[in-house]
Structures are given as structure tokens and as C-alpha cells.
Chains A and B, each alone.
Chain A
Amino acid sequence: MIFLENFRIAFAALRANLMRSILTTLGIICGVAAVIAVVSVVQGLQYMITSQLQGVGSTFIIVQARQNFSQPGMVTKQVKLTWEDGQAIQQHVRNVAMITPQVIGIQEIKHGDRQHRTYLFGVNSDWPDVNDFAVEHGRFFTQLDLDRRNKVAVVGTTVIEELDLEEPIGSEIYVGKTPVTIVGVMEEKGRSLGFDSDDLVFIPFETALGVFGRRAGDQVELRLQATDGESVDQVKDDITRLLRDRHRLEEEAPDDFNVLVQDELLDVYTQILGMVTAVIGAVVGIALLVGGIGIMNIMLVSVTERTREIGIRKSVGARRTDILVQFLIEAVALSLVGGVIGLLLGWGFGALVTALIPFDFPPAYVPLWAIGLSFGFCTLVGVGFGIYPASKAAALDPIEALRYE
């Protein structure tokens, strides 16, 4: 009863000083906005990481080029990781079950008057098996397609919808200026973390190089499967030796590539996640302090301004706890108002940032846990920093409070 009444009182008090209330919660607003913006953008980052982990089995291995910035001379020199490297691995390293190159880009595709931007993958015929991502209808392209440089494509289900393909298999679509015929449709993987795993088109590696330009072939990613779990370390070591040799690295020079096996991928994932958590933590910490001090400050002012009101309430029978709860609720309400404003601002800012990032990034997405977390943290700040002013108010002597000018 009194609890409900206190909400009414709190909001009346906040409304009476609207501008002051909003300015006071600036710390909270900035904090929550920053957290929400970071989280909504991080959702996109997470996609990149999880996409790397997709289809990962214990025998899955990725080889990527590495720019080594600690060595000044090497920055300018473009590190190359080519499909020739991949073919060398195929020939010389034992226990490699299959291997595929992979180049990815954002590409405009067209069918009739429909067009759509999608992820274009240039890969070879081993890709579905290496990545554990199967064809649902039709077929994936074969070694024969690759050898003959056939202009064929395999698409995800989202592409079919976007291009409005009634009979996808056999349809001709344009990838950039290159016409290709669809021979297969991938199984549906659904959305994960804001990214649509069905919004992609596969074309043969060589054809993709034609679309992206030949230089793309200097910077491929190699994905392979070892024959069994026991040989993963051997495969990794052999690849490392082979590539160092092919890249003519001096004895003491660091690798200019990474060979990532499942464990290391998970390490990368936890590392990035840890970094992001630290960033969010720092932002939350600063916001907590700034916002909390702002609230404490204005609540102290409010208690002083309303000394007489407190006296009046006490004179008609308000207990200490009644006054305490009244001002605590006011502090929490103040904090939550800041939280709501911060949420909206952060959401907008996240959307803006993801829209401005040049390469395609999944849209800003604020998960429910982030909203819950923000409001939880606002409540904590409200209580934490409101308790001192509120107990000051509660402890006032009725007569002295009534006499206060």
C-alpha cells in the first residue's frame, strides 16, 4: 500500500524537476548507452567468431595468413597464403583427408529485376564435408566443375527468398557481372547471434577469383580435415614446416601464418570474449561511479529541499522506514529513468555504428539479457547511492525538520 503510494510520490517529485532529473542521470544514461551500444555491436563480432567455429570437429584445421606487426619490415610486405600453398599441403602432408581454399566477400547478386547483397564464398568441392554443412537439394559442385571452370553456384535458402527464385535449381543468376547457374541449395542453418547462415552463395574458387579480382587469390584461408584425431598434431607440425619452407622464412623469423586447431579456436574465442567483457566491465564500472555520485548528489539536494515535507510527513505519523523507502524508491526511479533513456540512445548508437561499418556487419541487436542487466544495474546504483541520502532523510527529527526554513 505505502509502497505503491511511494511510487506515486517518487514520480511526482521527478516530474516536478524534470530537467534536473534528466541531467542528473546523465552518468547513468551514458553508462547504459555505452553498454548497450557495445553489446549490440559485439553481437556482430561474436558472429565472426562463431562462424569460425561452425562445423568444427576435433579434426578440423584452419590455416590463415598472419600479419606480423611486431616486425616493422614485414608490415609493408604483403603476406601471401595462396591455394598453391594448399595444394602443396595436399601433396606433401600425410593424413590430410580433405582441404579447401576459401575466399569470402560481399557481393551483389541479381536475378531478373531482383537484387541482393550476400556473402560470396569461393571454395572447392571439399568445402561441405570439411565444414559439415550439407547440400539439401541438387548437388554441390564437383572436381569436374572446377576443372572445367563451369559457371555454377550453390545457394542458401535466404538467397532463394531474396531473389524470389521459384525453381532455384537450373536458374541463372548474376554474381556481379558473371552469370552462373544454380545447381544446389544448402541445408537451412538458421540465424545465430544476429547472423543469417543461409544468406550465402558458393561458386568455384577459380570463378570467385574472377569476380573478386586475381589478387584475392593471394589471401585465401585454407580449411582442412585430418584423417583422425591422433594425427592432428602431426598435420599441424608438417604444415608449419612446409609453409615456413615455401615462404622462405629464416630460422628465427616468426610464422607468417596461423595453423588453428579446435582447441586454439576456442582459445581465441574465449580471449576475445574476455576482452569484450573487460571493456563492458570497465564501462559499467565508470558509469556506476559517475551515475551513482550524480544520483547521490541530487538526492542529498532533494532531501535538504524537502526537509519541511519530511517534517510534515513525520508529524502525521510517517515512520523512519516510510521516509527511507520513499527516498530510496525515488533514487531507484531516477536511476531507471536514466536507464531507459540510455537504452534507447545505446540502441540507436549501436544501429548507427553497425550501419557505418563498411564491410557487411549483422544489424545491431540488443539481447534481452543486456536490457535486464542494465535495469538490474540501475536498480543497484539507485539503492547503493540512494541509501545514504534516504537514511539521512529518515533520521531527521520531526520538530527540527518542521522548523527548517
Chain B
Amino acid sequence: MDADLSSPLIELRGIRKTYVMGSQLVHALDGVDLDIGRGEYVAIMGASGSGKSTLMNLLGCLDTPTEGHYSLNGVQVEELNDEELARIRNREIGFVFQTFNLLSRTTALRNVELPLIYRGMPRRERLERARATLERVGLGDRVDHQPNELSGGQRQRVAIARALVTDPSLVLADEPTGNLDSATSVEIMELFDALHEQGNTVLLVTHEPDIAEHAERRIVLRDGQVLRDERNGEAA
């Protein structure tokens, strides 16, 4: 474990993701090298189509690269089979989507409980933890509401609670405020800030510079490559 802690949480080497569109090859990621340490708070920026979502999906083990190496927590991800990938998604990663991706006709509590079901946790413990996590994101009084009975900001809080309930080593958020108004966005960003302060590793994708301001480090992508990688506060 000690050896793991000394190495970065995430190591990407020569990552490529290529899509075949008819006769054309689309290089969504075109040779990305990145190290991200434990406890870092990173904003990923870039124009639409620059490969941000593709990168997040690879980091979240939802997708696999065409080429290159990805090690997470010292585990070589490209060597894992389907079941092991599911286990990583379940235990190591909390993913927050722009479109929330909550189960409809399912209460907030049940949505948050979901990852714990696949972990095989007993029901009582599951519900206790889900409830506690919902309280943590300020939705203690909405546990029995279904997504269609919640506002956009509240839905995203449920999604964040679902990402946090497993105590993941990495929280990934792909444009978490993309579908929210600016006031609600500020509230959501406060949650991510708090997560970071509690020592979590947080990566989020955003278009908006003032959202990116919350992070300590900013990575800008262009055409599937890292254009800039800088500490916030360093000269632009």
C-alpha cells in the first residue's frame, strides 16, 4: 500500500482512442500522457469535441483505450477483464454525469443505494449509508422522492451522493453543472470543493472558466491532445 501511495493515483501513457466513422478515423484521444496524484482537484477544459468525455470515460473504466497504458491505484487497467472492470467501477470510482443518469421511478434513496447492492452489502447497512450520504449532500428530507419530483440541482445532488456512497478513490464529473443554472451550479461546486477538502481526488470537466477556478489544476485539451496543464494561479 505504501508503494502505491508514493506513485500517482492515475498514470496515463500514450493513450489513444480512435473511432471508425465510415472510412474515416476519428482520433478522440491522440496520445495523452498524464499523472494525477492523490487528493488533487483537477478541471479539464477544452472545446466541444476535444476529447474530454472520452478521457473521463476511460478514466472511469466505462470504456477502454485503443492504445496506451492506464494505471489506477497501481492496477494496470487494460489488463482487466469485464468482471474486474465492474469491480473497479463499483469500488474505486464515483462518476457524475451531465445528464444525472438516475433510475427513473426510483426514489433518491434507492438510487443512491444502487452501487452498494452490487457490492453485496446487507440491506440495512446499505440503506443506512445511502441515507447518511444523502444527508451529506443536503437531501436528508428528500430520500423518498423520485427524480421527476426533484429539481435539476437536487437530481445532481442525488447523483453525487450515489458517486460518494462507496467512498471511491476517484470522483469523476463530466460537466456536472452543464444542465444547471448558475446559482445551482455554485451550490453543486461547493459540494465538490468540500469533497476536495476532505481529501478526495476530484476530476471535473467544464466549459466555464469560473467553475474551473474552483480546481487547483487545469488541463486543457485540443483535438485529443493535452494543450496546457497548469496550476491555477500560474500565469495563463
Interface on A for B, CB 8 Å cutoff? 1-2, 5, 12, 16, 308-309, 311-322, 398-399, 402
Contacts and interface: CB of A to CB of B under 8 A. Distances in A.
A319 B115 contact: no
B162 A319 contact: no
B86 A317 contact: yes
Contact of B86 (A308, A318, A399): A318
B186 to A, nearest CB: 26
A2 B123 CA distance: 10
B62 A316 contact: no
A318 B105 contact: no
B103 A319 contact: no
Contacts of A402: 62, 97, 101
Interface stretch (B5-13, B88-96, B134-142, B220-228): B88-96
23 contacts: A2-B117, A308-B101, A312-B114, A313-B118, A314-B86, A315-B60, A316-B114, A316-B115, A316-B118, A316-B162, A317-B87, A317-B89, A317-B90, A317-B91, A319-B82, A319-B83, A319-B118, A320-B82, A398-B62, A398-B89, A399-B62, A402-B97, A402-B101
A316 B103 contact: no
Contact of A311 (B86, B91, B101, B118): B101
Given A314-B89, A317-B87, 17 more contacts: A1-B117, A1-B121, A1-B122, A1-B123, A5-B117, A312-B101, A315-B60, A315-B62, A316-B95, A316-B115, A316-B118, A317-B86, A317-B166, A319-B82, A320-B83, A320-B86, A398-B89
Contacts of B60: 315
Interface in B108-152: 114-115, 117-123
Interface in B54-84: 57, 60, 62-63, 82-83
Contacts of B114: 312-313, 316
Contacts of B122: 1
Contact of A309 (B62, B103, B115, B162): B103
Contacts of B87: 317, 319
Nearest to A313: B114
Contact of A399 (B63, B105, B115, B166): B63
A322 B62 contact: no
B81 to A, nearest CB: 10
A321 B120 CA distance: 13
A315 B102 CA distance: 11
A314 B101 CA distance: 12
B181 to A, nearest CB: 24
A113 to B, nearest CB: 63
A-B pairs with lowest CB-CB distance, top 7: A317-B90, A316-B115, A319-B86, A317-B118, A317-B89, A398-B62, A399-B63
Nearest to A1: B120
B101 A317 contact: no
Interface of B: 57, 60, 62-63, 82-83, 86-87, 89-91, 95, 97, 101-103, 105, 114-115, 117-123, 162, 166
Contacts of A315: 60, 62, 89, 95, 101
A312 B121 CA distance: 19
Nearest to B60: A315
Contacts of B162: 316
A305 B87 CA distance: 26
B89 A2 contact: no
A402 B162 CA distance: 16
A314 B114 CA distance: 10
Scoring A314, A316, A402 by chain B CB atoms within 10 A of each residue's CB, the highest score goes to A316
B28 to A, nearest CB: 12
Contacts of B86: 314, 317-320
Nearest to B106: A12
Contacts of B166: 317
Contacts of A317: 86-87, 89-91, 115, 118-119, 166
Nearest to A13: B105
B48 to A, nearest CB: 16
A210 B101 CA distance: 85
Scoring A313, A318, A321, A398 by chain B CB atoms within 10 A of each residue's CB, the highest score goes to A398
Scoring A309, A312, A317 by chain B CB atoms within 10 A of each residue's CB, the highest score goes to A317
A68 B155 CA distance: 81
A320 B87 CA distance: 11
A316 B115 CA distance: 5
A341 to B, nearest CB: 25
A110 to B, nearest CB: 65
A311 B87 CA distance: 15
Contacts of A320: 82-83, 86
Contacts of A1: 117, 120-123
Contact of A16 (B91, B105, B115, B118): B105
Contacts of B89: 314-317, 398
Scoring A308, A314, A320 by chain B CB atoms within 10 A of each residue's CB, the highest score goes to A314
Contacts of A313: 114, 118
Contacts of A316: 89-90, 95, 114-115, 118, 162
A316 B89 CA distance: 6
Scoring B97, B101, B120 by chain A CB atoms within 10 A of each residue's CB, the highest score goes to B101
A15 B162 CA distance: 25
A12 to B, nearest CB: 8
Contacts of B115: 316-317
A311 B102 CA distance: 11
A110 B149 CA distance: 72
B34 to A, nearest CB: 20
